[in-house]
């Protein structure tokens, strides 16, 4: 399992002439799983939910973008578990405390890792820019859908696992999203 995770990352950073990051996340859309690889430590994996629509890097597609990214910003230090963010700003309430109608859509909860594409004209640049598409790894109010495609393009985790992942990575760490 580990070589099949590492080789696509190694191939990508070599092709782009980018220095590998010590820690990296690899998101497998097929397996609905994110793997945290940190040096020689045993990989950690978390179940995720990627987009309901097919993977796509095109702006407005609603698909989870493929390719090499980096964590550009970490947002949510000090937020409580389940705290809701709109426009990357806490609304000061947990999703459990919202009216039932306000809990129907996928909400951005607990923590946010905002991704920036590193591949020009693929996931960075006009009409395909992951950062300007607001592609995040974040917690969700629909934890029952984790493990199945259900998002609007982001990578969603359960709130407890999002908190653990957030504490394990830094801005600048790479994220490779594969089919």
Can you read off the two tokens belonging to residue 57? 């890097």
Q: What is the CA radius of gyration of the chain?
A: 15
Domains of the chain, earliest start first: 2-178 (2.40.440.10)
Question: For residue range 29-71, what is the model confidence (pLDDT) as tens digits?
Answer: 999 999 999 987 889 999 999 999 999 999 999 999 999 999 9
pLDDT band at 2 (very low <50, low <70, confident <90, very high): low
Question: For residue range 139-172, what is the model confidence (pLDDT) as tens digits?
Answer: 999 999 999 999 999 999 999 999 999 999 999 9
CA dihedral of 3, 118, 89, 155, whole degrees rounded to 10 = -40
CA dihedral of 110, 37, 34, 103, whole degrees rounded to 10 = 0
User: Does the pLDDT at position 113 exceed 90?
Assistant: yes
Supply the pLDDT for residue 39: 83
Query: Does pTM surpass 0.95?
Result: yes
């Amino acid at each position: 399992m580990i070589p099949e995770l590492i080789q696509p990352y190694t191939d990508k950073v070599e092709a782009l002439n980018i220095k590998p990051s010590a820690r990296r996340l690899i998101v497998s859309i097929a397996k609905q799983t994110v793997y945290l690889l940190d040096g020689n430590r045993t990989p950690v994996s978390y179940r995720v939910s990627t987009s309901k629509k097919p993977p796509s890097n095109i702006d407005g597609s609603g698909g989870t973008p493929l390719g090499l990214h980096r964590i550009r910003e970490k947002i949510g230090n000090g937020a409580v578990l389940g705290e809701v963010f709109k426009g990357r700003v806490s609304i000061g309430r947990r999703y459990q405390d919202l009216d039932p109608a306000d809990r129907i859509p996928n909400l951005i909860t607990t923590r946010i890792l905002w991704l920036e594409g590193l591949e020009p004209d693929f996931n960075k640049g006009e009409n395909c820019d992951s950062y300007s598409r607001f592609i995040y790894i974040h917690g969700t109010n629909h934890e029952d859908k984790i493990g199945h495609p259900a998002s609007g393009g982001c990578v969603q985790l359960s709130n407890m696992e999002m908190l653990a992942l957030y504490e394990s990575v830094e801005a600048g760490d790479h994220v490779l999203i594969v089919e």
